[in-house]
Structure 1
Amino acid sequence: MKKAYKNCQSCGMPLKKDKFSGGTDQDGNKSKMYCSYCYSNGEFLNPEINTTAKMQNFAKEKLKAMGFPGFIAKFFTKSIPNLERWKKE
């Protein structure tokens, strides 16, 4: 059985904040690792975001667009390199 994560292992978003409760695997089952904003049907939705730095930048900009101050956005994204998707980098 796959481990269930509390946060998306690509962007770090809490999975409970995902309006779809997670992305989907290729077989249509809910992903226990990734949110619906990062992952659908077994594939990452933004293939151009293929490094830790690109994901941190992307997530920071999304958070700022949602009204979070820059220093908070930076704080929330500093753990992205420790997520499962990026550990092999």
Structure 2
Amino acid sequence: MKAYKFCQSCGFPLLKDKKGGGTEKDGTISKKYCSMCYENGSFLTPPEIDTAEKMQKFCIQEMKKDGMNRFFAWLATRSISKLERWKK
């Protein structure tokens, strides 16, 4: 399986993931998704987050809760639509 530099759901740099990445059903570390998006082989985002646009809004909201400026949050999330999870 290809190793990714960024989470293919939210775009977070996988090297900065404190847990080393999300987990698959068998407990192995995912090489595709971060621990904030993926655990035990399932996505952690609410079920209504089903498009790249909704994911971007959700991520911006979460980053603002962590104290990030809205503009920088937008910059960090603008490529979400190009990630593997959201490609159509």
Same fold (TM over 0.5): yes
Alignment match, 2:33: 34
Alignment match, 2:56: 56
How far the C-alpha of 1:83 sits from its partner, in A, is: 0.3
SS of 2:71's partner is: helix
Give the stretch that moved more between structures: 78-87 or 43-52: 43-52
Residue 6, structure 1, aligned to residue 42, structure 2: no
Gaps of 5+ in 2: none
RMSD: 1.1
Alignment TM-score, normalising by the size of structure 1? 0.90
**Deviant stretches of 4+, over 6 Å:** none
Aligned-residue sequence identity (percent) comes to 59
How far the C-alpha of 1:17 sits from its partner, in A, is: 1.9
How far the C-alpha of 1:68 sits from its partner, in A, is: 1.8
Amino acid across the alignment from 1:75: L
